[in-house]
Structure 1
Amino acid sequence: MICDNCKVREAEVYQAHSGKRLCRKCFMKDIRERVKKESLKIGLDKASKILLAVSGGKDSYVLADTLSSFIDSNKLIAYNITEGIQGYNRYEQIVQLKRYLSSLGIELIEDSFKQGVGHTLDEMMKYSRNKGLNVSACTFCGGFRRKLINNAGRTVSADYVATGHNLDDEVQAIIVNLIRGDIIRLIRFADKPIKLSSKFVLRVKPLRRVYEWETTLYAYYGGYQFQEVECPYISTKPTLRSKVRELLYTLEDKKPGALLSILDEFDKIAEKVRKQSELKEELPTCKICGEPTSYGREICKNCELLISSGLLDPHQNLPIS
């Protein structure tokens, strides 16, 4: 069957959400064009410096490849965190990621939970379990990753932090926060980022309209040697997000394009909410680490988790090193 776009090459990919059959070249071009369109809407083309938060997975490679196709690589700098998960974090994956980024002319800054927080994720989980806390690894990991990435963005004076979150990630996050009733975080998930603290570097998601299956296929077509092993904490303790993910996959299978429709409608609603919102006051700062925290909080969630786990003495009243 011939490609619906070029009408020349043999089709290899069927996009259920668009109804198109595409050849490999047209499929990859389609992804780059969608990422570019989203990036231009955000204003990434006008940025002086963009920090790419890269994990070494497929989305990281697609993020770097697509952005570098229309943004000068001198404006891009990558940042990677080793969480400290036995059997998951592998040195050779970082070497491969660094080699690929170097081929694009992008520098990679390496960091770790051990260096940036003082404890590996495995250590955090061990201590929290010993304290009888029922806290998922994702709660620890997500919070500290966001904190370290934001700190790195400030350090390099980045205008934006770009993450590799794809469409599946974005819609899952929307549904999870709807279930939790977290309106403030919901508003920040929309297509136009808002800045609630002078200490925040705006976070953007250029891949937010690209399906995960598309980033996977793009990565395979690109020949990237990415991290394919799933985090062991996901399988040992399924999270609310993983349950939402399965529900959304079922919906998408029955109605192709459903995830894109959810995202489009959410962006419209979020824009209206923002215009009526009074969230203009600067977020307070944590009295321990000095980083932004939620309204009404004196101590941020990250420091609270460390205190509850016995990894931080609240009476020290010192920033986490």
Structure 2
Amino acid sequence: MKCDICGSRNARVYQKHTGRRLCDSCFLENVRNRVRLEAIRLGLGNAKKILLAVSGGKDSLVLADTISSFLDPGRLVAFNIMEGIEGYNRESQVKELERYLRDLGVELIGTSFKDGVGYSLDEIVRASQGRGLKISACTFCGGFRRKLINQAGRDVGADLVATGHNLDDEVQTIIINLLRGDVKKLVRVGDLPVKLSDKFVTRVKPLRKIYEWETTMYAYFKGFKFQETECPYISSRPTMRSKVRDLMYAIEDESPGSLLRILETYDKIAETVRRSSSLGELPTCRICGEPTSFGREICKNCELLISSGLLKSDL
């Protein structure tokens, strides 16, 4: 069967949400064009410097490849974090990532939880478990990753931080926030989040309208070598996100295009909330000096370290 776009090459991909069959070349171009349109809408075209948060997984490689296809790679700086998870983080993967980014003309910088936080993720988890705390590794990891990425964005003078979150990631986050009743995150998680502190570098997600299966096929067609091993903490203690993910896949399979429709509806709601929002500047943590939530003197990250016995506070 021939490609529905070029009509000359054999189709290799079926886009259920559009009903089109595409060859590998037209599929790659389709993804690049959709990323470019979203990136320009999010302001990447006007940014002088952009920090790309890259893990070495398929999504971050697709992010770097698509963004560098229409923006000067000299405006991009990639940033990688080694969380310190035994059997998961490997130096060889970072070297492969560095080689690939070098070929694109993109500089790679990085840090680790050990250097940036003082403890590896494994050490933090063990300390919390030793105190009988039932805090998932993902809670620690997500908060400290966001902090380190934001710090890196400030350090390099980036106008924007771009992450590799895809459509599946975004919709899962939307559903999780709704299940938790966290309406305030409509402002913070939308397509154009409100900047509530001068210490925050605005984060954008150019892949937010690209399905995860599409980033997988993009990586496959490009021949990327990426980390395929799932984080051991996910399998050892399934999170709400993993449960929501299974639900979203079932809905999408039954009604192709559902995830895109959920995201588009969410963006409209988020825009309404932003227009009516009068939130001021976020307070800063009395320990680390980073922004924290309204009504809090200590940020969640420092609170987690204190509860795990890894940080002492007289406050």
TM-score using structure 2 length: 0.99
Check conservation: 1:2, 1:10, Cα contact below 8 A. Answer: yes
Distance in 2, Cα, partners of 1:180 & 1:71: 38
- Aligned to 1:161, what secondary structure does the other structure show? strand
Q: Which residue in the other structure is 2:294 paired with?
A: 295
1:129 aligns with 2:118: no
How many percent of aligned residue pairs carry the same amino acid?
66
CA RMSD between the two structures? 0.7
Q: Which residue in the other structure is 1:153 paired with?
A: 153
Q: Which residue in the other structure is 1:11 paired with?
A: 11
User: One-letter code of the match for 2:310?
Assistant: L
Q: Which residue in the other structure is 1:285 paired with?
A: 284
- Aligned to 1:295, what secondary structure does the other structure show? coil
Residues 6-45 of structure 1 show CA distances to partners (whole Å, capped at 9, x for unaligned) of 1111100000001000000000000000000000101101
Q: Which residue in the other structure is 2:237 paired with?
A: 237
How many residues get paired? 315
Check conservation: 1:28, 1:218, Cα contact below 8 A. Answer: yes
Check conservation: 1:73, 1:104, Cα contact below 8 A. Answer: yes
Residues 226-273 of structure 1 show CA distances to partners (whole Å, capped at 9, x for unaligned) of 010000000000001110000000000000000000000000111111
Distance in 2, Cα, partners of 1:156 & 1:258: 38
- Aligned to 1:183, what secondary structure does the other structure show? coil
User: One-letter code of the match for 1:82?
Assistant: M
- Runs of at least 5 residues in structure 1 that lack an aligned partner in the other structure: none
Q: Which residue in the other structure is 2:202 paired with?
A: 202
Shift of 1:304: 0.3
Q: Which residue in the other structure is 1:49 paired with?
A: 49
- Aligned to 2:8, what secondary structure does the other structure show? coil
Residues 87-110 of structure 1 show CA distances to partners (whole Å, capped at 9, x for unaligned) of 000111000000000000111002
1:304 aligns with 2:303: yes
- Aligned to 1:298, what secondary structure does the other structure show? coil
1:112-261 pair list within 5 angstroms: 112-261=112-261
User: One-letter code of the match for 1:210?
Assistant: I
Distance in 1, Cα, partners of 2:136 & 2:186: 21
Check conservation: 1:14, 1:22, Cα contact below 8 A. Answer: yes
TM-score using structure 1 length: 0.97
Q: Which residue in the other structure is 1:263 paired with?
A: 263
User: One-letter code of the match for 1:312?
Assistant: L
User: One-letter code of the match for 1:7?
Assistant: G
Q: Which residue in the other structure is 1:314 paired with?
A: 313
Distance in 2, Cα, partners of 1:127 & 1:186: 33
Distance in 1, Cα, partners of 2:193 & 2:241: 22
Check conservation: 1:52, 1:76, Cα contact below 8 A. Answer: yes
Q: Which residue in the other structure is 2:62 paired with?
A: 62
Check conservation: 1:51, 1:161, Cα contact below 8 A. Answer: yes
